[in-house]
């Protein structure tokens, strides 16, 4: 059966991928992911209808959601295993109650699973009402992003019971018939819980590794063999750093792992060199040039070249067929010795850049600059802050964001988080009274920091809401973690967000109209006109 997927920004013709994903996933993998989400909703229903509080259930649902995020897992056999594990859990927990078809699914006969998939009944398109489908998918994609942030916090020993319960209850609710008004309300509630999930992860990261510090990050190389770490999981990064110390192997970050360079605890490792490369979509050339092994801790995998495929390792929710997967033991420990030993046999990384980039402007650091920032605004040296957080992507129209940054008035400051920053974080945009014109808060989840900065400015200027501040939003999106960030902003009442390079294909015209009416959501046009409309 052909697939249908429109969860990412690069979906075919901004409509939907039907034969093979633009991301590279095959139709059989895409369809298995749909089935995994369907039975995950069934598992949630079983748990909600019981009197139990089973931690393993919510952990399983969170893993399943994370597994289906764009560019996370392309491995048919891994997804099949997670389906079977979920069915086993359902069969062990099911009681004599009235359940939906998804919750009643009990067969591990793969031919029956394939038959169910072929029927189209677990497909996104099985919901015939376009607006209902749009809102249910918007909520589902928000849950996927929320699950990613929740899992990162969990491995560090932090979690929110409210977020866990919300994920569980909402997955079950998505199996039920809902009115448009009910789904709109649930969408905003998803945003509120996403904000709490980001706050929980912020606490986990800062209490474990210290508050990020303003840091000059090396982007060159040294003369030792190296390991390149991409993705988002700081716990994986810590374990690898610790196991690789005193081995003669250097460690570099890539793409969304760049903010690891800002945490005090990681700076203590002498084998931690800096950042290598740029945003995720350039990895095929950059991974090849790196020469050493690569560890993908989460999503943002691009189907690898044969030249380095045998050096690409995955872990956590990530997976790619033919690449070695590193499993955690019962205590969460991962043995990275195979990667380290392989690195010792590899050539040193090819130098593709020299110099450094500045980052580490999370909320704790910017708060220390608050008086300086407020003074600069009051005396007119800073006229606007532009939130340009979000995701990067490979489409040529994303050059818009580089040109937008270049053409901004010199009295403006960019607030950023996520890999969208690679479009402009290496430009020489200067500073304003010692305040850099690009303030990088960190990973996509560190959009929480940008929200905290905005809320602090509300207090500093004595205005009623963030919508009264000299802040505008020109956000790039790609996948589902950006969706939950957007929903979190909407739940806080933030308006006038410009979203690009295209509006999500999963938003029906009527749902788009609701967002425009309630929140003044808009797309982008061209650099000149958008600067006139947003800035001047």
List, for residues 128-179, the tens digit of each pLDDT value.
999 999 999 999 999 999 999 999 999 999 999 999 999 999 999 999 999 9
Tell me the backbone φ, ψ of residue 100, rounded to 5 degrees.
-75, 170
The pLDDT assigned to 53 comes to 77
pLDDT digits (tens, 9 = 90+) for 459-474: 888 999 999 999 999 9
CA of residue 510 relative to chain centroid, distance: 27
Percent of the chain with pLDDT over 90: 96
Return mean pLDDT, the chain.
96
The pLDDT assigned to 367 comes to 87
Work out the pLDDT band at 205, boundaries 50, 70, 90: very high
Task: State how far the Cα of 448 lies from the Cα of 197, in Å rounded to an integer.
Answer: 10
The pLDDT assigned to 144 comes to 98
233 within 8 A of 299, measured Cβ to Cβ: no
The pLDDT assigned to 370 comes to 86
Tell me the backbone φ, ψ of residue 459, rounded to 5 degrees.
-65, -40
The pLDDT assigned to 159 comes to 97
The pLDDT assigned to 99 comes to 97
The pLDDT assigned to 193 comes to 98
Task: State how far the Cα of 127 lies from the Cα of 165, in Å rounded to an integer.
Answer: 25
Of 395, 381, 398, nearest to 434 (Cα)?
A: 381
Work out the pLDDT band at 58, boundaries 50, 70, 90: very high
Report the run of H or E that residue 34 belongs to, with start and end. Answer: helix 27-49
CA of residue 349 relative to chain centroid, distance: 27
pLDDT of residue 52 exceeding 90, the answer is no
pLDDT of residue 51 exceeding 90, the answer is no
Percent of the chain with pLDDT over 70: 100
Of 60, 154, 73, 86, nearest to 325 (Cα)?
A: 73
Q: What are the Cα distances from residue 3, in Å, to 35, 124, 452?
A: 12, 9, 40
The pLDDT assigned to 536 comes to 80
pLDDT digits (tens, 9 = 90+) for 244-265: 999 999 999 999 999 999 999 9
> What is the average pLDDT across 497-510?
97
Q: What are the Cα distances from residue 177, in Å, to 100, 102, 136, 155?
A: 12, 14, 10, 35
Kindly provide the b/e burial profile for residues 254-276, where b requires at least 16 CB atoms within 10 angstroms of the residue's own CB.
bbbbbbbbbbeebeeeebbbbbb
pLDDT of residue 505 exceeding 80, the answer is yes
The pLDDT assigned to 429 comes to 97
Of 317, 334, 354, 372, nearest to 78 (Cα)?
A: 317
The pLDDT assigned to 336 comes to 98
pLDDT digits (tens, 9 = 90+) for 359-392: 999 999 998 888 899 899 999 999 999 999 999 9
Task: State how far the Cα of 166 lies from the Cα of 205, in Å rounded to an integer.
Answer: 22
Rg (CA), the chain: 23
> What is the average pLDDT across 103-114?
98
Of 138, 319, 362, 337, nearest to 231 (Cα)?
A: 319
pLDDT of residue 410 exceeding 80, the answer is yes
Within 13 Å of residue 277, how many CA atoms lie on the same side as its CB?
27
pLDDT of residue 458 exceeding 80, the answer is yes
Task: State how far the Cα of 424 lies from the Cα of 390, in Å rounded to an integer.
Answer: 13
Cis before 188? omega within 30: no
pLDDT of residue 1 exceeding 80, the answer is no
> What is the average pLDDT across 61-77?
98
145 within 8 A of 485, measured Cβ to Cβ: yes
> What is the average pLDDT across 220-235?
98
pLDDT digits (tens, 9 = 90+) for 300-349: 999 999 999 999 999 999 999 999 999 999 999 999 999 999 999 999 99
């Amino acid at each position: 059966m052909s697939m249908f997927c429109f969860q990412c920004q690069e979906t075919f013709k901004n409509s939907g991928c039907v034969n093979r994903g633009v991301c590279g996933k095959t139709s059989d993998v895409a369809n298995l992911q749909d089935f995994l989400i369907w039975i995950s909703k069934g598992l949630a229903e079983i748990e909600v209808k019981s009197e139990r509080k089973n931690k393993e259930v919510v952990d399983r649902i969170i893993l399943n959601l994370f597994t289906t995020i764009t560019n996370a897992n392309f491995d048919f056999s891994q997804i099949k295993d997670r389906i079977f594990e979920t069915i086993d859990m359902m069969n062990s927990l099911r009681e004599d109650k009235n359940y939906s078809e998804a919750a009643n699914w009990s067969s591990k006969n793969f031919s029956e699973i394939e038959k169910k998939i072929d029927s189209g009944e677990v497909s996104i398109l099985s919901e015939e009402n376009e607006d209902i489908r749009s809102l249910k998918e918007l909520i589902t994609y928000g849950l996927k992003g929320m699950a990613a942030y929740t899992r990162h916090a969990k491995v560090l020993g932090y979690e929110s019971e409210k977020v866990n319960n919300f994920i569980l209850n909402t997955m079950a609710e998505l199996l039920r018939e809902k009115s448009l008004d009910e789904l709109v309300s649930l969408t905003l509630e998803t945003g509120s819980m996403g904000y709490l999930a980001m706050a929980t992860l912020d606490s986990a990261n800062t209490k474990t590794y210290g508050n990020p510090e303003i840091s000059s990050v090396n982007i060159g190389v040294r003369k030792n063999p190296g390991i390149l770490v991409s993705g988002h999981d700081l716990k994986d990064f810590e374990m690898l750093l610790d196991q690789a110390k005193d081995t003669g192997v250097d460690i570099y970050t890539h793409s969304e792992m760049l903010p690891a360079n800002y945490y005090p605890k990681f700076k203590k490792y002498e084998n931690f060199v800096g950042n290598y490369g740029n945003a995720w979509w350039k990895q095929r050339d950059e991974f090849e040039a790196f020469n050493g092994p690569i560890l993908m801790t989460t999503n943002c995998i691009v189907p690898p070249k044969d030249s380095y495929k045998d050096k690409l390792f995955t872990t956590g929710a990530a997976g790619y067929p033919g690449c070695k997967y590193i499993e955690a033991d019962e205590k969460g420990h991962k043995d990275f010795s195979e990667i380290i030993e392989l690195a010792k046999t590899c050539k040193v990384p090819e130098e593709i850049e020299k110099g450094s980039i500045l980052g580490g402007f999370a909320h704790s650091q910017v708060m220390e600059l608050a008086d300086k920032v407020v003074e600069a605004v009051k005396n007119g040296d800073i006229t606007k802050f532009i939130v340009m957080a979000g995701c990067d992507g490979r489409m040529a129209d994303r050059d818009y964001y580089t040109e937008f940054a270049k053409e901004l008035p010199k009295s403006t400051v960019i607030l950023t988080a996520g890999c969208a920053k690679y479009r402009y974080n290496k430009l020489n945009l200067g500073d304003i009274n010692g305040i850099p014109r690009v303030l990088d808060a960190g990973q996509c989840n560190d959009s929480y920091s940008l929200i905290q900065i905005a809320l602090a400015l509300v207090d500093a200027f004595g205005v009623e809401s963030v919508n009264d501040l000299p802040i505008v939003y020109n956000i790039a999106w790609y996948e589902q973690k950006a969706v939950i960030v957007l929903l979190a902003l909407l739940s806080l009442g933030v308006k006038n967000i410009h979203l690009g390079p295209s509006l999500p294909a999963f938003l029906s015209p009527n749902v788009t109209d609701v967002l425009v009416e309630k929140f003044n959501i808009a797309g982008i046009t061209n650099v000149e006109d958008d600067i006139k409309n947003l800035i001047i």
